[in-house]
Amino acid sequence: MRSYIHLRIAISRALNSLLDDREVLYMLTLEATMIHEIGNDKIRIKVKSLGAELSSLQSADGHEYLWQGSENSWTGQSPVLFPVIGGLTNNSYTWQGKRYAMASHGFARKMNWQLLESESTTDCLVFELTDNEDSRAQYPFAFRLRLTYALRDNGFFLGYTVENTGDDVLPFSIGGHPAFCCPMENGYSFTDYQLRFEAPEDTRRYLKGDLLTGETEPFRLENGVLPLDYETFSDCAIILREFASRTITLEGGSNAHSVNVDFEGFPDLGIWTHMNAKGPFICIEPWFGVDSTVGVSGDEDFATKSGMNQLPPGAIFNAGFTVGVS
């Protein structure tokens, strides 16, 4: 395991209109993030302490599979979604009669996590986030959340452990949002790739604007293959709540590289890219939970919201998915 501080200097321009010569002012912003890195003879991953977010997934020859983020489309890479998936009605919810504000996808992705060095090794990183003053202001629950990144032969396993350390039930959703480069090699485009589902699919796609609309449309893949095209995402993400497959493979181009995601046990699935910006990435997102639905009053209360797990005091929830590359 190797850990180091990554410094990023952001230079921004501000025009001071009060000066006759229209002087241009430059402002420097220094950002510091701890990066933790592990690898073997086939794969190497990097994880940021901020959000415990995966920031690199490389093969031994240095080929990068993970989207590196861009101000021109989407700056994220693989945020952790907790304690909500997607958006809430009016960015808020109620619990026991009191209303709380919370942004889309929750707060875990924006908090600094602690690396548990005593449990981390040369092939495993364990991060922990517990409730604190900032979290309790928007989520009045006691919890311990651990993320485990464990290397596999040609990829990694990402495990979630949620523990209810309080005296009341703990309502939560949790999931991943990893973005993979698409195309994965020079000379090809987004539309030269496809997603190969493990099995044929004949289900419904839940339509989404800012929230779920309450409408669905058919989602059928007779041969289990979804050709990638930005127009497919004109109605935002593909959101599935019933599906036959437990793995999806991103493949195409010259077929020199592929990414496989195994999400066995996850009841919900999102697939997304930035359609308007034509982002060169595709997200395959295993979830426990979904956005709130427009007009559904029960989704405004965490006691009744669709997709919320209700974890009893002292109980522990475990889940995880595996990413493999070739």
Inside any domain, residue 22: no
Helix/strand/coil for 137? helix
Segments forming the whole domain that contains residue 93: 36-325
Enter the pTM of the model.
0.91
DSSP secondary structure letters along 99-134: EEE--TTBSGGGSBPEE-TTT-BTTEEEEEEE--HH
CATH of the domain at 58: 2.70.98.10
In a domain, 11, yes or no: no
Give the count of domains, the chain.
Answer: 1
Q: List the one residue out of 150, 154, 123 whose CA is nearest residue 249.
A: 154
Kindly state whether residue 120 falls inside one of the protein's structural domains.
Answer: yes
Burial readout 311-324 (b: 16 or more C-beta within 10 A, e: otherwise):
beeeeebebbbbbb
In the predicted model, is pLDDT for residue 30 greater than 70?
no
231 within 8 A of 315, measured Cβ to Cβ: no
Q: Is 171 exposed, middle or buried (0-12, 13-18, 19+ CB in 10 A)?
A: buried
- Whether residue 23 lies inside any domain: the answer is no
Mean pLDDT over each residue of the chain, to the nearest integer: 92
Per-residue model confidence (pLDDT) at position 14: 44
Question: Which contiguous run of DSSP H or E holds residue 21?
Answer: none
Q: How far is it, in rounded angstroms, from Cα 175 to Cα 129? A: 15
206-229 per-position pLDDT tens digit: 999 999 999 999 999 999 999 999
pLDDT > 70 in the chain, percent: 91
Per-residue pLDDT tens over the stretch 138-150: 999 999 999 999 9
